[in-house]
Structure 1
Amino acid sequence: MTHLKVALQLFTLRDYDKGDFAEKLKKVREAGYDGVEFAGYDDIPAEEMKAILDRLQLTSMGSHIRIEELLNNLDEVIAYNQTIGSSYIVIPYYEMTSEEHVQTLIGIVKEIAPKIKAAGMDLLYHNHYHEFINDFGDKPILETLKEATTEDELNFEIDMFWTTHAGRKPVEVMEQFGSRCKTVHLKDMVSREGKEMTELGTGILDLSGILAKAQASNYKWVVVEQDRMTIDGYVSIKQSLDHVRSLLLN
């Protein structure tokens, strides 16, 4: 069983320490995180970003990259992420309201995946709610993406909040995707009715079961994310991490 590292998706802190990215990263490290998942680099060159990460002893677990960037600037995206030491390049969102959209995404994946794989990284897809429903096909979109691609081409970062939002059980989805699920977004939910996001351990998700499954499946990373917070962001990320650590010790 591998040691499970915990990263923070930096989108969580998008409104904090604007203009001082290094200070933001410093506070993430002080909260106790092993690494970060990027959602933009604040125009900091790759070598400089790597130096900041090294100084803070933070690891770049990966980066969320918009599909337009992957299509138009793939070489630059790969070079940046190689320099900062990322393991994963993640498609954070893709609108799919027709079968044509789904097939377009599959085509994009098959086009860009070989270069990403050759560079020593995995391409992941991060889900929201709509990939678990499908008004135009006979199976959930996420399953179509899995079946139409190979493990060398595409793997998954399953978001536990959106999985629950869609009425699915996170651990069952992790089992269904098997080795194709490389990591998960940990994000808690107040209730199935309101579906508000909340700090880990204060909602309804079976975080203990999710983490046990992640460990048993030899994940290297899990990722804490919270899109919307009602308390200070730095307090929130530490509270969530402390809860994860308490579960990992049991």
Structure 2
Amino acid sequence: MTKLSVQLFTMRSIDDDAEMLDSVKAVGFEFVELYGAKLSRGSALATLLSERGLQATGAHVALADLTDEFGAVVENAQAFNISSLFVPSVPVPQRAMPAEGWRELGKKLALLSDKLSAYGMTLGYHNHNWDLHLKDGDKTALDLVFEAAGSAPVQWEADIAWLTRGGVDPIVWLKRHSSRLAAAHVKDLAPQGQNEEEAGWADVGAGVLDWKVLWPEAVANGAKVMVVEHDKPLNPTATIANSFRYLQENLR
């Protein structure tokens, strides 16, 4: 069964963890996806989740943390009983790197995924629009990452709204890398020129993306977890409540 989760990055403006999780629980979510700062809270945050009957489906973790603090990352992931980790992005200076840099990233992810497998964990990559820039003929940066990863079980968390912002058809891309697809981010884009104070994002169902088509396509192509997210909400609790309600009424 597909799990509906929420990325806690959406709620980052709520400083108090207990208050944040109470808001998530009150909306109706049962699952959350962590980001680096929350993953590093380890057992302290895991206890708060457990007290509210919430479970973590996975976590974003910086490549630098996986490289330099591998043991701590594994220990924290074990505290939450999660097995799915995703590198959310490359640092800003690397986003325009040439083809070879993206190939090296793919190789590094492959090595780390093999290393994590010894702990029963998987590693994946989460895309943005810059991952769709052409780097070698008709191959994008994301293509090169997955190509260089070879047979290693590097997974993909497809951010469908960022795919759209990258100028590609998300359905084509969900099929293109379906063998690696494990999860998808569920968020929406406001009509052109609207919601500029929220960087052009919208609550799920209030934007231009057709989630009645995109949700089943993501699931059919391998996504086991669908994660609600908004990159810059003015009212995060209202945003996740609106998104949850739309998905419950239309897609669950």
Normalising by the residue count of structure 2, what TM-score does the alignment of the two structures yield?
0.89
Counterpart AA for 2:57: M
Q: Give, as a single letter, the amino acid of the residue that structure 1 aligns with 2:175.
A: E
SS of the aligned residue for 1:201 comes to coil
Q: Indicate yes or no: 2:2 matched with 1:4.
A: yes
Pick one of 76, 83, 86 that aligns with 1:87: 83
Q: Distance in 1 between matches of 2:153 and 2:75?
A: 19
**In the alignment, structure 1 residue 123 sits paired with structure 2 residue 123:** yes
**Structure 1 residue 185 displacement after superposition:** 0.7
Q: What are structure 2's unaligned runs of at least 5 residues? A: none
**Within 5 A, what are the aligned runs for 1:198-217?**
198-217=202-221
Q: Is residue 2:17 matched to residue 1:14? A: no
The letter of the residue matching 1:235 is A
Residue 244 of structure 2: aligned partner: 241
Percent sequence identity is 27
Alignment of structure 1 residues 103-122 onto 2, 5 Å: 103-122=103-122
What is the distance in 2 between the residues matched to 1:44 and 1:196? 30
User: 1:136, CA displacement in angstroms?
Assistant: 5.1
CA distance in 2, matches of 1:144, 1:234: 37
Instruction: Give the 3-state SS of the residue equivalent to 2:161 in structure 1.
Output: helix
Residue-by-residue CA offset, 1:75-97 (whole Å, 9 max, x unaligned)? 11012102201131111111342
Give the equivalent residue in structure 1 for 2:230: 226
- 196 and 113 in structure 1: CA distance in 2 versus 1, 3 angstrom threshold: same
Aligned length: 244
Q: What is the RMSD of the two structures over their aligned residues, measured on CA atoms?
A: 2.0
**Shift in alpha-carbon separation, 1:166–1:140, aligned structure 2, 3 A:** same
**Distance across 2 between alignment mates of 1:63 and 1:234:** 20
Residues 44, 79 of structure 1: alpha-carbon distance in 2 compared, 3 angstrom cutoff: closer
Quote the offset at 1:60 in angstroms.
0.9
Which amino acid counterpart does residue 23 of structure 1 have in structure 2? E
Q: CA deviation at 1:34?
A: 2.1
Q: Does 1:70 align with 2:66?
A: yes
1:74·1:112 contact (CA, 8 Å) conserved in 2?
Answer: no
What whole-Å deviation, never above 9, does each CA across 1:159-183 have from its counterpart, x for those lacking one?
1111001121222211111131111
Q: Is the 8 A contact 1:165 1:192 kept in 2?
A: no
Q: Is the 8 A contact 2:171 2:214 kept in 1?
A: yes
- Between 207-216 and 54-63, report the one with greater CA deviation: 207-216
Give the 3-state SS of the residue equivalent to 1:62 in structure 2. strand
1:219-248: per-residue Cα shift (whole Å, max 9, x none)?
Answer: 321011101124x21011110111111222
Contact residue 185 and residue 227 of structure 2 kept, 8 A: yes
User: Aligned equivalents of 1:207 and 1:140: distance in 2?
Assistant: 25
Letter in 2 for 1:233: P
